[in-house]
Chains A and B, each alone.
Chain A
C-alpha cells in the first residue's frame, strides 16, 4: 500500500546566482569594505584598507556600514558598494 504525504518543506522556486569570478590582480581595482557594525569591525577594516592600498596597489576603497548587524543591508548600503570589483565584509567581533 502506498502512502501519500504533503511535502511540508520549502518549495519556493529560487534562482542560483553564480559566484563572481576571482580577480586576477588587486592592482588598480575598486574594493568595497563593508562593516556590519559589529564591535572591532572598523579596526580590522582600517588596517585592511591601508594594506590594500600600500601593498596591493588598490586604486579606490569604498567604505560602507550597515546600521545594524542584525538585519539585511538596506538598499542605500548596497547602492553605495555597487560597482566595486570586489567586496570584503567584516562579519563579526
Chain B
C-alpha cells in the first residue's frame, strides 16, 4: 500500500466538522495517519479538542495560509495525499459513502454505517478565508456532537414527600410513572455495559442529551424491563435521525406522532405482542416501549403538549404508539425485509402517523373487494382533496391477508392495486369554494377509476407502506395517514436492533 496521509481542514464552530470528527477519531485510533488543520484560534481549537475528544493531531493554520494554498472552499474538506504530497482525493462536506471509500484507501473497513443516527450527507460551512468580514465576535461554539454528556443530577426526596406524587408532578406525561430511583437506573445500566454519560443522540427540538443514563431513567419511569435498552438505544438514535425530522414532527400543529413498528426475532425475545389489540394496551413491552419513547421526547426533547408541541387536536398515540408486525400471519416479506434487512435481523421502524382509521370489510369475497374498501379509506388521509404529498401505513388484518393472498396477490400487487385504485373524483373539486388541495389541482394526475375521472391520491406506489398486524378473528384493517413526507417532511426509517448477547453493538 502506498504511503497515504489524510488531512482534514476543520472549523471549531462548524456543525459538519463536529459531525465528521468522531469518524476521523475512529480512523486515527486504527493507525490511519490523520492530521487535522483548525482554521481557528488556539483557545477555540483546544476547547474543540477537549469537547470532541480529538484523537489525532490538530494543528492550526495561522493566517489561513494553508487553507488559501489548498484553495479550500468548504469545511470540512478531507485531502488524501500521497508520498509526494499530491492530492489523491479531495472530499468537501460530510458524506458517509465518501468517508467509507477514503477509509478503504487506507485499508480500513467502513467507518460510517447507515444506522448511527447521522445523516447520509451534510454540506459543510464556508472556509474562514472566504467568509465575509464581520466586526462582531463569534458566539461560543455549540457543542452538539460530543460523545460525552453531563452526568444526571440526583434528587434527594426528604421523608414525608410522596414520591409517586412528586414524580407524577415533575417527570410525567400526565400519567403516574415508576420513580427512577438510583437502584432501578443502575440495574438497567448494568445490562447495557455502557458508560452512563455516553451520548446516544440529542433529541429535537431542544436537543437535550440522551445519555445512556437519561434513557435508562425514562425507561424506568415507563415501566420497561432492563433488556428493553436493547431496543431503546437504536430507537433513540433513530428518533434523532434527520430523515425522520423529529424537530418538525414534535412541534407541528398536525396530528402526527411517531409510530414504532418492530420486526424480527426481538418480537418474541422481548415479548412484544403482534396479534389482537395490536394498537392498544395488550402487552407490557409494546406499551412501555412506546411510552418510554414519548417520555424521552417530552423530558429530553422538550416538546411538551402544553408548550412547543403545538398539535391542535393531538393523538392518543402520544401516550404510547408501538406495534409489532404479525410476521407469522404475513405470507409476504415483512416490513424490515422490504427495507433491506435479513428476516432474522431484528429492526425498529418509525413513521410519523395519524391515529389508526379502521376499515371494516366483512362482505367482500375477493382480494379486489377487500382492497377496494381499503382504497376508499386511503383516499381520506390528510384531507380528502389534498393529494400527492402524503403517505400511509396500511395495517392489514390477518383475515384480509388470507383473502388477498389466496387470490394470488404479492405484496407489490397489493401496493400497486391500492395506488391505482385510490383517487378522488374530479367532481369533488367543482364546488366553487376554495379548499385544501383545490388550488394545486393543475399538478395532479388524472386517472380513471371504475370509469370515473379521478385525481390519483398518491405520488407513487411506494407511498403506501404495508404491514400485517392484529388478531386472526375479524375482517378488519387499518389505515394511518402521515405527516408531511419526503426530504422536506418526515421519512420512514428502519434501524437494526443488536443481538441480546452483544450490548456493545446496541
Contact = CB atoms under 8 A, between A and B. Distances in A.
CB-based closest 6 A-B pairs: A10-B208, A68-B488, A8-B217, A70-B248, A6-B185, A5-B155
Nearest to B204: A72
A68 B216 CA distance: 34
B154 A7 contact: yes
B140 interface: yes
Contacts of A7: 152-155, 217
A76 to B, nearest CB: 9
A41 B200 CA distance: 38
Contacts of A12: 149-150, 202, 206-209
17 contacts: A1-B159, A4-B157, A4-B182, A5-B181, A6-B152, A6-B185, A7-B153, A8-B220, A8-B295, A9-B171, A9-B300, A11-B153, A12-B149, A67-B488, A70-B484, A71-B245, A71-B248
B207 to A, nearest CB: 7
Interface in B126-178: 140, 149-150, 152-159, 163, 167, 170-171
Contacts of B125: 75
A5 B208 contact: no
Given A2-B156, A3-B163, A8 B247 contact: no
Given A15-B140, A70-B245, A8 B150 contact: no
Interface string B464-506: 0000000000000000000110001110000000000000000
B218 interface: yes
Tell me the dominant secondary structure on chain B's binding face.
mixed
Interface in A32-74: 39, 67-68, 70-72
A13 interface: yes
Interface string B185-229: 100000000000000001100111100011011101100000000
Contact of A5 (B167, B202, B252): B167
Interface residues of B, number: 51
B143 to A, nearest CB: 9
Interface in A1-31: 1-13, 15
Nearest to B144: A12
A71 B206 contact: no
A67 to B, nearest CB: 7
A75 B13 CA distance: 13
B258 interface: no
B299 interface: yes
Contacts of B185: 6
B175 to A, nearest CB: 14
A28 B443 CA distance: 42
A50 B416 CA distance: 50
Contacts of B150: 11-13
B334 interface: no
A3 B488 contact: no
Contacts of B253: 92
B307 to A, nearest CB: 13
Given A10-B300, A11-B152, A12-B150, A5 B182 contact: yes
Contact of B182 (A6, A39, A68, A70): A6
B44 to A, nearest CB: 16
A77 to B, nearest CB: 13
Nearest to B199: A12
B152 A8 contact: yes
Given A5-B157, A11-B153, A70 B489 contact: yes
B489 A68 contact: yes
B481 to A, nearest CB: 16
A7 B218 CA distance: 9
B36 interface: no
Contacts of B247: 71-72
B298 to A, nearest CB: 9
A6 B488 contact: no
Given A70-B488, A71-B488, A4 B154 contact: yes
B92 interface: no
Contacts of B153: 7, 11
A92 B251 CA distance: 13
Nearest to A10: B208
Contacts of B300: 9-10
A11 to B, nearest CB: 6
A5 B220 CA distance: 11
Given A2-B159, A10-B300, A70 B140 contact: no
Contacts of B483: 70
Contacts of B299: 8-10
B302 interface: yes
A15 B299 CA distance: 19
Most A-side CB within 10 Å, residue of B155, B167, B483, B484: B155
B154 A6 contact: yes
A10 B302 CA distance: 8
Contact of B181 (A3, A10, A39, A92): A3
B180 interface: yes
Given A10-B299, A11-B153, A71-B245, A5 B488 contact: no
